[in-house]
Amino acid sequence: MDKILEGLVSSSHPLPLKRVIVRKVVESAEHWLDEAQCEAMFDLTTRLILEGQDLFQRQVGHQVLEAYARYHRPEFESFFNKTFVLGLLQQGYHSLDRKDVAILDYIHNGLKLIMSCPSVLDLFSLLQVEVLRMVCERPEPQLCARLSDLLADFVQCIPKGKLSITFCQQLVRTIGHFQCVSTQEKELREYVSQVTKVSNLLQNIWKAEPSTLLPSLQEVFASISSTEIDASFEPSVALASLVQHIPLQMITVLIRSLTTDPNVKDASMTQALCRMIDWLSWPLAQHVDTWVIALLKGLAAVQKFTILIDVTLLKIELVFNRLWFPLVRPGALTVLSHMLLSFQHSPEAFHLIVPHVVNLVHSFKSDGLPSSTTFLVQLTELIHCMMYHYSGFPDLYEPILEAIKDFPKPSEEKIKLILSQSAWTSQSNSLASCLSRLSGKSETGKTGLINLGNTCYMNSVIQALFMATDFRRQVLSLNLNGCNSLMKKLQHLFAFLAHTQREAYAPRIFFEASRPPWFTPRSQQDCSEYLRFLLDRLHEEEKILKVQSSHKLSESLGCSETSLQEVANKAAVLTETPCTSDGEKTLIEKMFGGKLRTHIRCLNCRSTSQKVEAFTDLSLAFCPSSSMENLSFQDPASSPSTQDGSLMQASVPGLSKEPGVCNPSTAAFACYSAVNERMADSSDEFRCTEDTSVPNDSSKMLVNKDVPQKPGGETTSSVTDLLNYFLAPEILTGDNQYYCENCASLQNAEKTMQITEEPEYLILTLLRFSYDQKYHVRRKILDNVSLPLVLELPVKRTTSFSSLSESWSLDVDFTDISENLAKKLKPSGTEEACPPKLVPYLLSSVVVHSGVSSESGHYYSYARNITGTESSYQMCHQPETLALASSQSHLLGRDSPSAVTEQDLENKEMSKEWFLFNDSRVTFTSFQSVQKITSRFPKDTAYVLLYKKQNSTNGLSGNNSTTGLWVNGDPPLQKELMDAITKDNKLYLQEQELNARARALQAASASCSFRPNGFDDNDPPGSCGPTGGGGGGGFNTVGRLVF
C-alpha cells in the first residue's frame, strides 16, 4: 500500500483522481496490516509531511498518517518513540534542519495521536529537557511561537521544579533577542502575533507556578539594565509584551526595591529606564506607561534626580513622536505629561519638543476625528501649563498659541495646582498613588463611590438617595429593559452599590449622564443644585416615557397616528399639571413630591389670592436674630394696627406690582434663577377672591424661647426654627407691596404658606451661601444648626383646589430672599380652631459641606437605613415630652421638648447604625457625631437633610416576595443587571487572587536582590476632603484636579 501511495502522489494524474485514490487508501487503514507494512506507511507519510514538494503531498501525508495511527495505535506507538523524536530534535530529518518549524509541528501532531498511550509519559520527560535546550539556543520568533503552541497544548512538557525557573529566565532572554527586520505590514503583524504567543506562554507558567515570576522579572531588568558595550545586541522592544502580564499589585514592591537596592548602579537604572520608555512603541503592550511613571516617581522619592534629568533629556523627543501613532498615543501622552510637568527646574526639556508642536496640532485638527479633538484638548492643557511655567519666550510660543487658540485654556489656579502636584519634590510620598490599592468592602458592608475629580457633590447626594430605602427599592424593582434612560443608569448604579464586592465603585457613566450641562467638569459644584437637577431629569423622563407608551398602546388599538411633536406636547402638558392620582404620579412625585399652598390677603380690601404648587425640596433661610425671640403671628383681621402698618417692622421682600424685583443688597445667593422666574410670574398666577373666602382659622406659630445657648450667649438655631421661619406669615410692605387687582394698586398684604400634602421623603436645604454686596464675594453662613432626630411637619390638608392654579416645580423656594433682614408678623395669641396635623419624620441622611465657599470645599454625607414601616417613632415618642401646649398652639415641636425623645431614639436604635460616606470611604458613626460635627469642625456644616415620613403604610411597595426573593428587603435584580454584577465580582475575585500571589512573592523575595520592603499600607490620598478616599493624585493627574 505504501508503494501505491508513493507512486500516486508523484504521478502526473489529474488532482481529482489522485484525491479519490487517496480516499481509498485512507479507508483501507481499517484493514489489518502487519507491523512491517505499518512501519513502511508511517515512514512514507512522515517523509511526505516533512519533505513534501507541494501542499498536496503534505496534506496527503497528514491524512494517511492520522488514519493509520488511529487504527494501528500499537504500531504507531512503536514507531513514534523517544529515539525517533530525539533524533528529530537534535539532528533534524534528512535534509531538514533540526530548527525547522515543520519538525516541531510534526512532533506536536504526533503527541496528539498517542496521547492515550502509556509511552507518551516518556516523551513528556524527554521534551521537558529538550525544550529547555531549544530555548537556550535562542530560537527565532517563528520557531519559539510554534514551541509555545506545543507547550500550551501539552503543559506536561514544560520543565518542572527549579528547571521551570531556568526555563522562564531563558525564555525572557530569548524574547530579548527577537528582531523583525521587515517593514511590511503583513510581516510586522505576523511578528507581533508570534511574540504574543510566547508572552502568553510565560503568563500561563507564572500563573501555574508563582515562584517563577520574580526570577523572570529579575531577568527582564538584567537584560534592559545591561551597560555592556555590544553593538550587535540591543534588548528587543518585544520585552514590552511581558509588562501586561505582571500583576499591577506588585508595582509598589518592585519599584521600591529597585530604587533602594544599592546593587543597582545609576548607569544601569538610567539604561533600564530608557529602554522601558522605548517600549512605548510596542503596539499591544498594556500598562507600560504605568510602570514607566511608577519608576520615575520611585526615583523622585529617593531623590535620584540625576537619572531623571538624563532620561528626560534623552527620551522626551522620542516620547513626543509616539503621539503620531494612534495605538500607543494614550500611553505616550501620559508619560510625556509626567516628564514635562515634573521637569520644573529648567525649560530645556520643554523646548526640545516646542519645534514639533505646531505640526502635530495642525495635523490632528485637520483630520476632524473626535479622538483627535479629545487628545488635542489634553495636549493643549499641558502646553499651557508649560508655557505658563516657562514664560519669557514669545518668539517660541507665539506660533503655538496661534495653533491652539480654538481650544480651552485652563485657569491660572488650575495650572498652579497641576504644577504643584507634579513637581519631583512633591512626590516623596506618592509612590503608592501610582495604583489604587485593591481592598475588599469595608466592615460596614456598604460601598463607597470613587471621586472622579471634584465629584464629591454627586457622591454625597447619590449615597443619601441610595440610603433612602423605599426609594432605592422602587428604583431597583423597575422594569427598564431596552431603555437607556437616566433612571436605568441610576438603577445600574444602585445595583452595584448594593451588590458589588468592591470597596468603591466608579460612577463614570452615571456622572456623564446626570451632570448638568452648565457644570464645569472637574470643578466643585453645589450638591443641592445637582440634586434638584437630577430629580427634575428623572421626573421629566418618566413623564415622556409614559406619554410615549400610551401613544404606542393607542396605535396598537387602531387609534389615529400621533406625531412625535404631539407626544412632546402631551408630555409638556403633563409636566405643567401635576397628577392627582397616585397611579399617574411619577416615582419622583410619589417619593419626594409634596404640595405647598401660598395665600396672599390684601390688608386694604381683604380680598385674597392663593395657589398650590408642588415641591420636592424646601429651601430654609436662616432666621434673623430679632425674629428668634418670639416668632408667631395672629389673624390680621383681629388686629387694629394692621391697617396703618404698625406691625411692619422692616421692609420684607415679597410680591409687588413688579414681584420679581428683589432687594439686591440682601439677595441670598442660593436663590437660583429658576426661583426668581417663578417669583416674577407668581402675582399673575394668583386669583383674587372676595373676603368671604378668607379662612378665619389662620395658622398661629410660636417658637419656644428655650433654645440651646452658645458659650457667648448666642442661640443655636435648629431645623425646627428654620422651618417655623419658612412657614411663618409675612407682611408685604414698602418696596415689596402686593399689587391687588381688586384695589388696582399696590397695597400692604399678608402672605402665608401652608403645606397641604407631605412627601414620603422630605428634603430640606439650608440656605448657607449668600452674596456679600460690599466685597462682591460669595460667603457661607457657618452658623451651627441643631438637627432633630424627630421632626414634626405641620400639614394643613385641604379639599379639592379645582379652581386653583397648580404647577409642578422641583425648586419651589418661597423663602425670604433677604432672609437676614426679613421680619415676620407677630401673633395675636388667638387660638386656632383647627390646627394642622403634625406628621412625624425621622432623620434619614445629612449632606455636609466642608469649606467656606460654594465653589470649593468638600461634601460628604451621614445616612442610615429607615423604612416607612418602622415603629421606632411610636415606641420612643413620649406624649408628655412632645405634647403641644394648647395655650400656645404649637405647630412644630422645639428642641427642648424633643431632646429626651431624640436621646431615647438614639439609645434604643443602637442596632440601626449611622454610616459616614466620604467618597471611597464608608465607616460606622453615630448620631452624636452628626450632631457635633460643626462644633468640632467649624467649617463642616449640615447643608441638605433627608427626613423619612413615619407611621405610613408604604403604598408604593406593591412588589413583595411573590415576585421573587427580596434580599435584605431589596427586590431581586433583573438578569441583565445580575449578570453584569456577577461578571464584575468574578473579575474582582481574580484580582484578589493575584494580590494574594503578589503578597506570597513579596515574602518569598526577601532574600532576592530586589529586597522588597512590603506593600505600602498607607491609604491613597483623598480626593477633595479631609478624610476622603477615592484614589487619584497618581501618575495620571493632569486632568484630575481636586482640592
User: What rounded mean pLDDT belongs to the chain?
Assistant: 74
What is the model's pLDDT at position 957?
A: 43
**Alpha helices (runs of H) in 11-119, residue ranges in sequence order:** 15-27, 35-51, 55-71, 73-79, 82-91, 101-113
Question: Which grid coordinates belong to 832?
Answer: 386656632
Residue 588: CA atoms inside 13 Å, Cβ hemisphere, count? Answer: 25
| Segment 1004-1012 long-range contacts (CB within 8 Å, at least 24 positions apart) | 1004/211, 1004/214, 1005/214, 1005/253, 1005/257, 1008/214, 1008/218, 1009/218, 1009/261, 1009/263, 1010/214, 1010/218, 1010/253, 1010/254, 1010/257, 1010/258, 1010/261, 1011/257, 1011/260, 1011/261, 1012/253, 1012/254, 1012/256, 1012/257
**Range 82-105 average pLDDT:** 90
Mean pLDDT calculated for residue range 150-167: 92
What is the pairing mode between strands 940-949 and 837-850?
A: antiparallel
pLDDT level of residue 759 (50, 70, 90 thresholds): very high
Residue 926 has pLDDT above 80, yes or no: yes
Nearest to 470 by CA among 909, 915, 978, 948: 948
Least confident of 28-37, 703-712, 902-911: 703-712
Helix (H) or strand (E) segment spanning residue 449: strand 448-449
On whether the CB atoms of residues 275 and 267 are closer than 8 A, the answer is no
Check whether 969 has a pLDDT greater than 60: no
Cβ neighbors of 824 (< 8 A, separation 6 or more) are 627, 631, 633, 725, 728, 729, 730
pLDDT of 87 higher than 70:
yes
pLDDT at 202 over 90: yes
Burial of 835-864, coded b for 16+ CB within 10 Å and e otherwise, reads bbebbbbbbbbbbbbbbeebeebbbbbbbb
Confidence of residue 889 (pLDDT cuts 50, 70, 90): very low
Residue 647 pLDDT exceeds 60: no
* Strand 618-620 versus strand 761-766 pairing type: parallel
In the predicted model, is pLDDT for residue 115 greater than 70? yes
Q: Would you state the pLDDT for residue 41?
A: 86
User: What does the buried/exposed string (b/e) look like for 238-254 if buried means 16 or more CB atoms within 10 Å of the residue's CB?
Assistant: bbbbbbbbbbbbbbbbb
pLDDT score of 327: 86
Provide the residue count of the chain: 1043
Does the structure show a pLDDT above 50 at 965? no
CA dist 790 to 201, 558, 601, 1009, Å?
Answer: 64, 54, 33, 63
Tens-place pLDDT, residues 209-221? 999 999 999 999 9
pLDDT value of position 338: 93
Residue scoring higher pLDDT (684 or 312): 312
Give the pLDDT of residue 820.
37
If one compares 147 and 552, the residue with the highest pLDDT of the two is 147
Whether residue 122 contacts residue 102, with contact meaning beta carbons closer than 8 Å, is answered with: no
Backbone angles phi, psi at 754, to 5 degrees: -140, 140
Rounded Cα distance, 271 and 385, in Å: 29
pLDDT of residue 426: 61
DSSP notation for 175-215: HHT-------HHHHHHHHHHHHHHHHHHHHHHHH-GGGHHH
**b or e along 275-291 (b: 16 or more beta carbons within 10 Å of the residue's beta carbon)?**
bbbbbbbbeebebbbbb
pLDDT the model gives residue 326: 86
The residue that leads in pLDDT, 780 or 886, is 780
Longest dimension (CA), the chain: 132
Residues 6+ apart with CB under 8 A from 874: 950, 951
- pLDDT at position 833: 47
- Asked if residue 1016 has pLDDT above 50, the reply is no
First to last CA, the chain: 85
3-state SS class at 731 = strand
Among 165, 117, 156, 158, residue whose Cα is nearest residue 134: 158
Q: Which of 348-362, 468-482, 573-587, 998-1012 has the highest mean pLDDT?
A: 348-362
How many CA within 13 A on the CB side of residue 6? 12
pLDDT at 763 over 90: yes
pLDDT value at 791 more than 60: yes
pLDDT at residue 162 greater than cutoff 50: yes
When mean pLDDT is compared across 49-63, 114-128, 779-793, 907-921, the lowest value belongs to 907-921
User: Residue 613 in 3-state DSSP?
Assistant: strand
Contacts of 1023 (CB under 8 A, 6+ apart): 450, 451, 453, 454, 455, 456, 919, 920, 1029, 1030, 1031, 1032, 1042
Confidence category of residue 500, pLDDT binned at 50, 70, 90: confident
Q: What's the pLDDT at 961?
A: 40
pLDDT at 888 over 70: no
Question: What is d(CA 273, CA 124) in angstroms, rounded to the nearest whole number?
Answer: 40
Q: Name the band, by pLDDT with cuts 50, 70 and 90, for residue 428.
A: very low
Question: Which pLDDT score, from 0 to 100, does residue 196 have?
Answer: 93
Residues 427, 296: Cα–Cα separation, whole Å: 10
Instruction: Tell me the average pLDDT across 915-939.
Output: 87
- Of 458, 468, 544, 546, whose CA–CA distance to 509 is shortest? 458
What one-letter code names the amino acid at 859? Answer: Y
Residue 692, number of CB atoms within 10 A of its CB? 8
Whether 985 and 997 have beta carbons less than 8 Å apart is answered as no
Closest CA to 266 of 216, 223, 231, 305: 305
Least confident piece of the model among 94-98, 171-175, 548-552, 764-768: 548-552
Helix or strand or coil: residue 834? coil
For residue 994, what pLDDT band results from cuts at 50, 70 and 90?
low
What pLDDT, on the 0 to 100 scale, is given for residue 523? Answer: 83
Whether residue 138 is predicted with pLDDT greater than 80 in this model: the reply is yes
Q: State the pLDDT at residue 834.
A: 64
pLDDT above 70 as % of the chain: 70
Element (DSSP H or E) covering residue 505: strand 504-505
Q: Where are the alpha helices (DSSP H) in 368-411?
A: 370-389, 394-403
- In the prediction, which pLDDT does 1013 show? 37
Cα–Cα distance list, 400 to 330, 372, 445, 643 (Å): 21, 17, 52, 72
Number of separate helices (H) and strands (E) present in the chain: 36, 22
User: Judging by beta carbons within 10 Å of its beta carbon (0-12, 13-18, 19+), is residue 718 exposed, middle or buried?
Assistant: buried
Distance CA(930)–CA(945), nearest Å, equals: 12
Q: Which sequence positions are flagged as catalytic?
A: 456, 858
Q: Give CA–CA dist 616/595, Å, rounded.
A: 9
> 536, 541, 514: which is closest to 809 by C-alpha?
536
Residue pair 1038/341 in contact (Cβ under 8 Å)? The answer is yes
pLDDT bucket at 307, cuts 50 / 70 / 90: confident
Greatest mean pLDDT among 88-92, 299-303, 556-560, 932-936 lies in 88-92
Q: What is the pLDDT of residues 3-22, one digit of tens each?
A: 667 776 777 777 787 788 78
From residue 288, alpha-carbon distances to 133, 442, 444, 925 in Å are 31, 31, 36, 42
- State mean pLDDT over 792-796: 90
* Of residues 26, 14, 30, 8, the one with CA closest to residue 62: 26
Confidence of residue 181 (pLDDT cuts 50, 70, 90): confident
Q: Which amino acid is at 602?
A: C
Q: What is the pLDDT of residues 613-637, one digit of tens each?
A: 999 999 998 877 533 433 333 333 3
| Nearby residues of 351 by Cβ (< 8 Å), 6 or more positions away | 390, 393, 396
Q: What is the DSSP string of 958-997?
A: ---GGGS--BTTBPPPPHHHHHHHHHHHHHHHHHHHHHHH
**Mean per-residue pLDDT, 317-337:** 92
Confidence of residue 535 (pLDDT cuts 50, 70, 90): very high
Dump the DSSP string for 895-909.
Answer: HHHHHHHHHHHHHHT
* Three-state DSSP state, 87: helix
| Average pLDDT of the residues in 123-138 | 92
